[in-house]
A and B are shown apart, each in its own frame.
Chain A
């Protein structure tokens, strides 16, 4: 996945160049189809986004799926180039502007995603990753989100320095690894006409499943993965605490040894013997390897998105419950009459 980015001239400015993503209905439908198909056999769907950059807006006008891994007939690079060459001949925008991926229960912002997006953004400055949440969408909420790495995150990954100091100096936190970019869906007038005619063909009760009151399973899933992530974070922090304890212990020992050495040296100088340099002692204490904080930060980010999802989900469930309460109240007053 590392070298999936198409090569073309990299623009010089490194600041965030994209304000929002405008997505064509066609691309949305294609992504939904592909992700839905793959999610039914529990696979991760991935594909490339095609489009162009207009001012501060990234337009996604088309997309195509990546072949499933394990297919050896054609390697990824040639496949992508062939598809893009073919689409170019029918006047589809052939600029590679990012990639998409399916996810469930919102834990998409993983290390793998960060790595691939890093390679994308370093080869194509404007590229985004679009994440489509299959589980939430099948509950009736269309969930498409576009992310980009922040400049700090890129800098950090470039230096591949994940020590706490690096995080501190670059001011990278779990919220500033990825920047979410608002997505806008836009359709051509002709598509809009088609859509209003589709309205007549589409069964009335389809696509409104978010009024479903059975929310327990979704909430349960969310909670379960939230708990898992919190566990992971806990382990990370235990590791970090252990490191701190060891460092502290080492420091005190070092201090003691140095003090001892200073006393001995004082005796030696009074006797007129040569002194032992301090480096000798310091050499005995090898500096401990600093645990990388990247996993912890990413896990924090995942926990954060989970918490947000849960809060959103709960607020709409509350709304639905109160609607049913109103209905029930109306029924009861009727019965009393």
Chain B
């Protein structure tokens, strides 16, 4: 291993899909296995400034007890085969590191890290640790990179350094799907998992908006009544929100509103008419002969 070419200012973005995959891998782990281990795939930009973790796959491993040391053995052939299969569809995704669902780093981490350092070839691997035993009631997601330490020419060691995990890198589509699923996660009492029709989601978000407005109004009233200390940040945010509402005089708003409503009503009429026409023609063509 050469010196770490990982720059401390590198930003790492994690796509939510990877977390889904890790949890699924953990849930599908073999009976005797404690943890799930796998490879992280992603994109690095050329200057190594941002790394985006976009994909992952599970790798079969065996835990061996040698003396008092536990050794984790990866099925390297399986790992490389999976990588090649993934290359067919996503040739841009390269190995950027590995994940483990153990509760903390262990001795075997260093050995695995060394293996992935070889796989990554020119860059330092990342190590994502997701504690799925839920210690402290939370899903602790931590990101490490290895920093070699020691005397030049003498004994060398590897130190895992905690890295800040940047926000989720989501596309619009992803976050839409996530929002929908979060709704189910947070309101389990609701009917399970149906995708709501469009009008319903508008209604729901309106209700949520009303709740938030109520919260805000209560805060403002409290501040005005001097029950609560005003917060500069909240004030600024409120001011920004208010000024972002476009100014529109009553007349032009009416004009905009009316044209839009007319367009929409016309479209509804047209689509209903076409549907009726279709139904009619089908009924006619399905009439029995004479």
Task: Decide if B272 is an interface residue (CB 8 Å cutoff).
Answer: yes
A214: min CB distance to chain B, Å: 10
The reply to whether the CB of A319 lies closer than 8 angstroms to some CB of chain B is yes
Encode contact with B along A304-320: 1 for CB under 8 Å, 0 otherwise.
10111011111111111
Is A197 interfacial (CB-CB < 8 Å)? Answer: yes
Q: Which of A33, A193, A199, A203 contacts B17 (CB 8 A)?
A: A33
Judge whether A114 is part of the interface by a CB distance below 8 angstroms: no
CB neighbours (8 Å) of B17 from chain A are 26, 29-30, 33
Q: Determine whether A208 belongs to the interface, using a CB cutoff of 8 Å to chain B.
A: yes
- Interface assignment of B235: CB less than 8 Å from any CB of chain A: no
* Interface stretch (choices B2-10, B114-122, B185-193): B185-193
Does A193 contact B202, Cβ atoms closer than 8 Å? no
Given contacts A28-B181, A211-B205, A310-B267, contact A82 B195 (CB under 8 A): no
Interface contact A141-B198, CB-CB below 8 Å:
yes
Query: Are the CB atoms of B89 and A173 closer together than 8 Å?
Result: no
Specify which chain A residues have a CB less than 8 angstroms from the CB of B28 in the assembled complex.
Answer: 90-92
Please tell me which one of the listed residues A79, A138, A186, A320 contacts residue B202 in the complex, with CB atoms under 8 A apart: A320
Q: Is the CB of B139 within 8 A of A83?
A: no
Q: How many residues of A contact B (CB 8 A)?
A: 102
Query: B89 and A68: CB pair below 8 A?
Result: yes
Q: How many residues of B contact A (CB 8 A)?
A: 81
Q: How far is the CA of A157 from the CA of B138 in the complex (A)?
A: 54
A300 on the B face (CB < 8 A):
yes
Considering the complex, which residues of chain B in the window 18-36 have a beta carbon less than 8 Å from any beta carbon of chain A?
Answer: 19-21, 23-30
| Distance in angstroms between the alpha carbons of A127 and B54 in the assembled complex | 29
Determine chain B's interface SS by DSSP, over half rule: helix
Q: Which of B178-233 contact A (CB under 8 A)?
A: 178-182, 184-186, 188, 192-195, 197-199, 201-203, 205-206
Given contacts A68-B89, A171-B286, contact A29 B20 (CB under 8 A): yes
In the complex the two chains form, is B185's CB within 8 Å of A142's CB?
no
List of B residues within 8 angstroms of A188 by Cβ: 23, 27
| C-alpha gap A171/B268 in the complex (Å) | 29
Residue A219 at the chain B interface, CB threshold 8 Å: yes
Partner of B134, one of A175, A182, A193: A193
- Chain A residues near B188: list those with CB within 8 A: 192
Residue B161 at the chain A interface, CB threshold 8 Å: no
Q: Which residues of A, 170-224, contact B by the 8 Å Cβ criterion?
A: 171, 173-175, 182-188, 190-199, 201-203, 206-211, 215-216, 219, 223
With CB as the reference atom, state the residue of chain A lying closest to B174. Answer: A32
A263 at the B interface (CB under 8 A)? no
Q: How many A-B Cβ pairs are below 8 Å?
A: 244
A148 part of interface (Cβ distance < 8 Å): no
Q: Mark B134-147, 1 if CB is under 8 A from A, else 0.
A: 10001100000000
Q: Is A271 an interface residue (CB 8 A)?
A: no
Taking a contact as CB atoms closer than 8 A, the residue among A33, A198, A311, A327 that contacts B272 in the complex is: A311
Question: Is A284 on the interface with B (CB-CB < 8 A)?
Answer: no
Closest chain A CB from B135 CB (angstroms): 13
Any A CB within 8 A of the CB of B1: no
- Chain B residues with Cβ below 8 Å from A219 are 263-264, 267
**B102 sits at the interface (CB 8 A):** no
**A25 contacts the other chain (CB 8 A):** yes
A121 within 8 A of B: no
Inter-subunit contact B24/A26 (CB<8 Å): yes
State how many angstroms separate the Cβ of A324 from the closest Cβ of chain B. 8
Q: Which residues of A have CB within 8 Å of B30? A: 91
A207 → chain B closest CB, angstroms: 4
- Do B60 and A194 touch across chains, with their CB atoms under 8 A apart? no
Which residues in B have their C-beta under 8 angstroms from that of A129? none
Residues from chain A with Cβ under 8 Å of B201 in the complex: 140-141, 210, 316
C-alpha gap A79/B75 in the complex (Å): 21
- A284-337 interface with B by 8 A CB criterion: 300, 303-304, 306-308, 310-321, 323-325, 327-328, 331-332
Contact (Cβ within 8 A) B203 A300? no
CB distance from B41 to the nearest CB of A (A): 12
Nearest-neighbour CB distance to chain B for A171, whole angstroms, equals 7
**New contact pairs (8) apart from A65-B89, A71-B88, CB-CB < 8 Å:** A25-B181, A26-B24, A142-B177, A183-B194, A184-B192, A188-B23, A191-B23, A207-B172
What are some 25 contacts across the A-B interface (CB < 8 A)?
A26-B20, A26-B24, A29-B177, A32-B174, A33-B174, A90-B25, A134-B173, A141-B201, A184-B193, A185-B184, A191-B20, A192-B185, A195-B182, A198-B178, A202-B170, A207-B179, A210-B201, A211-B202, A307-B272, A312-B197, A314-B271, A318-B261, A319-B206, A327-B245, A328-B257
Listed in ascending order, the chain B residues whose CB lies under 8 Å from chain A are: 15-17, 19-21, 23-30, 54, 58, 60, 78, 81-82, 85, 88-89, 132, 134, 138-139, 167-168, 170-182, 184-186, 188, 192-195, 197-199, 201-203, 205-206, 245, 248, 250, 253, 257, 260-261, 263-265, 267-268, 270-272, 274-275, 278, 281-282, 285-286, 288
Instruction: List the 10 shortest-distance A-B pairs measured between CB atoms, nearest first.
Output: A207-B175, A207-B179, A307-B271, A192-B185, A185-B193, A184-B193, A91-B28, A316-B198, A206-B175, A310-B271
